[in-house]
């Protein structure tokens, strides 16, 4: 079986990270490795990783999401690479179903799940209000079913699975989008330019708290950051992502 490298950037989110990793360990039934990239946390994240034997890089300053992901990608040994936000909780069958979608055709480059919190087509209405409710709902949704896969123009980077072949073809995330926002749109656009297709795995539901680290660090300037990075995307590609995707 192939190995999936799960790369988790984090910043002062130890409680979220702990829950994220415990869910991965509980509900993942295919071979994987976890790599944590710690963006200069001061909450004991490094100690937690050491105690639990989790490979990690501890950065001296907060380098942002794209740079942290790139460091993890360069450490990774997996056949598939998965960028995962630290505020995501996975459930039964999640990775097996994502991988089935990823390998369903040679030209599938990136796959993402359904979730309660995201921009675009991946967000769905959910009925749960707590974690037991989420896992119960995920148990119903995460029944393997290729009929629920949907081709899409973009995927949100909260849970972003792609083939090493794609990394070799188009490279790392563009760090011009640091500290974050639109680096995932950019990666999707680059993948599509190389002839790859993107899929939403409608048979995989994950829980997402929603931009937890960004809300903490950039709360007052989040809108300005998003607009700045949208402008970077438009300057790079001469395309407005809000109209293209």
List residues bridging with 84 in a β-sheet: 159
Q: What percent of the chain has pLDDT over 70?
A: 96
Q: Which two tokens stand for residue 42?
A: 């001061």
pTM of the predicted structure, to 2 decimals: 0.95
CA-to-CA dists, residue 225 to 119, 178, 222, 230, angstroms? 16, 9, 5, 9
The domain that holds 33 is classified in CATH as 3.90.550.10
Range of the domain at 200: 4-244
List residues bridging with 32 in a β-sheet: 4
Per residue in 56-88, pLDDT (tens digit) is 999 999 999 999 999 999 999 999 999 999 999
Per residue in 113-163, pLDDT (tens digit) is 999 999 999 999 999 999 999 999 999 999 999 999 999 999 999 999 999
Q: How many separate domains does the chain show?
A: 1
């Amino acid at each position: 079986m192939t190995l999936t490298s799960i790369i988790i950037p984090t910043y002062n989110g130890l409680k979220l990270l702990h829950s994220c990793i415990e869910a991965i360990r509980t509900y993942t039934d295919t071979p994987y490795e976890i790599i944590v990239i710690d963006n200069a946390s001061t909450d004991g994240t490094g100690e937690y990783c050491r105690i639990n034997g989790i490979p990690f890089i501890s950065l001296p300053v907060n380098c942002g999401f794209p740079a942290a992901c790139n460091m993890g990608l360069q450490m990774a040994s997996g056949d598939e690479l998965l960028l995962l936000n630290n505020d995501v909780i996975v459930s039964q069958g999640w990775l097996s179903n994502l991988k089935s979608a990823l390998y369903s055709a040679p030209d599938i480059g990136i796959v993402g799940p359904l979730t309660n919190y995201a921009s675009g087509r991946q967000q769905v209405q959910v009925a749960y209000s707590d974690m037991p409710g989420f896992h119960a709902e995920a148990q119903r949704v995460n029944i393997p079913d290729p009929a629920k896969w949907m081709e899409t123009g973009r995927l949100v980077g909260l849970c972003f699975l792609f083939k090493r072949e794609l990394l070799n073809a188009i490279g790392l995330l563009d760090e011009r989008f640091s500290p974050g926002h639109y680096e995932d749109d950019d990666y999707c656009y680059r993948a599509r330019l190389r002839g790859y297709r993107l899929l939403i795995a409608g048979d995989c539901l994950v829980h997402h708290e929603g931009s937890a680290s960004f809300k903490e660090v950039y709360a007052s300037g989040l809108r300005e950051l998003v607009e700045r990075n949208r402008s970077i995307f438009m300057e790079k590609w001469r395309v407005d992502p809000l109209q293209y995707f």
